[in-house]
Amino acid sequence: MQVSRDASNQLAIDPNATERLSSLARSNPKEAIRQVASQFEAILLNQMMASMRSNGFDGEEDSSELGTYRGMLDQQMVNAMVQGGGTGLAEMLARQIEGVARIDKTATPAASSGMLPLPALPAAAAKAIRQYAEAAGTATAAPAPVAIPSERQAFVSTLLPHAGQAAERLGVAPELLVGHAALESGWGSRSIRHPDGRESYNLFGIKAGGAWRGESVATLTTEYVDGKPRKQVESFRSYPSLQAAFDDYAKLLEGSSRYQRALNQGDNAQGFAVALQQGGYATDPAYARKLAGVAQSLLAR
């Protein structure tokens, strides 16, 4: 199987692709612009496909595996569409960039040569370009990933600032959320990581069900069946940051009727823990006792 060297099939945020594009820009600026424009068109088409998939269909049963295969199929369809000529957006965008950058220094200006002016980019596309550029700038300026410490005091000090907003939404003390994260992650010693070593920041053991549209990671976990522990592989949600993990946790508890009794418990660690277990948060029969014990130890600090 041959691998194309055309960088238009790779995201520019890939360091290797970025280096190749930089080199191409020096040797063949127009071709580099064409490939970047093609990338942008592919990104928009991917977003359109993802948006269509997220709506789903009535009566359709989803699974994380089905979502993975659909994502692969969508990517293949987008690649085929872009390589087959695309929608015309890439060509229009490339012409716009060339006109602004004035790459061809010897070309006669359109006004004096009788050439028709370049067509204006559609408003929707222009807005998408601005949003993409802003997102790229934010990603570039983002701080380095925060490591989850396994030493207990460092674990608490790192997580407490992120727990405040979520705790306020849930009506509980932030120590209860940090205690829950400590129980699920073994004080950071059992953090769920991707095969390449990236941190998933899944502090609360939240699984990636069929409705989850974000990134996920599979790992071995312990489930209790008829009161007996059993090891099995499950798919868990993955987040870009600690704050995203706390935000999703708060959203889960707020939006589920199963956990409504856990809300507005203040610093009542026992009430919070029992409500979560009764709601089916975990299969461990001793879960409430364990959670309450960890949370109370943090409240007593």
Query: Which residues are identified as catalytic?
Result: 223, 248
- Count of other CB atoms within 10 angstroms of residue 14: 12
CA-wise closest residue to 267 among 175, 149, 164: 175
Q: 276 by DSSP, 3-state: which?
A: helix
Q: Where are the beta strands (DSSP E) in 149-196?
A: none
User: Which residue carries 């802003």 as its tokens?
Assistant: 134
Distance of CA 219 to the CA centre of its chain: 18
Task: Kindly report the number of other CB atoms within 10 A of residue 28's CB atom.
Answer: 12
Q: 255: exposed, middle or buried (C-beta count within 10 Å: 0-12, 13-18, 19+)? A: exposed
- CA-to-CA dists, residue 231 to 70, 262, 281, 285, 289, angstroms: 28, 28, 17, 16, 22
Question: How many CA atoms, within 13 angstroms, populate the side-chain half-sphere of residue 214?
Answer: 17
244: phi > 0 → left, psi -120 to 50 → alpha, else beta; which?
alpha
* Residue 193 contacts residue 200 (beta carbons within 8 Å): yes
DSSP-derived secondary structure for 76-122: HHHHHHHHTT-SSHHHHHHHHHHHHHT--TTSPPHHHHTPPPPPPPP
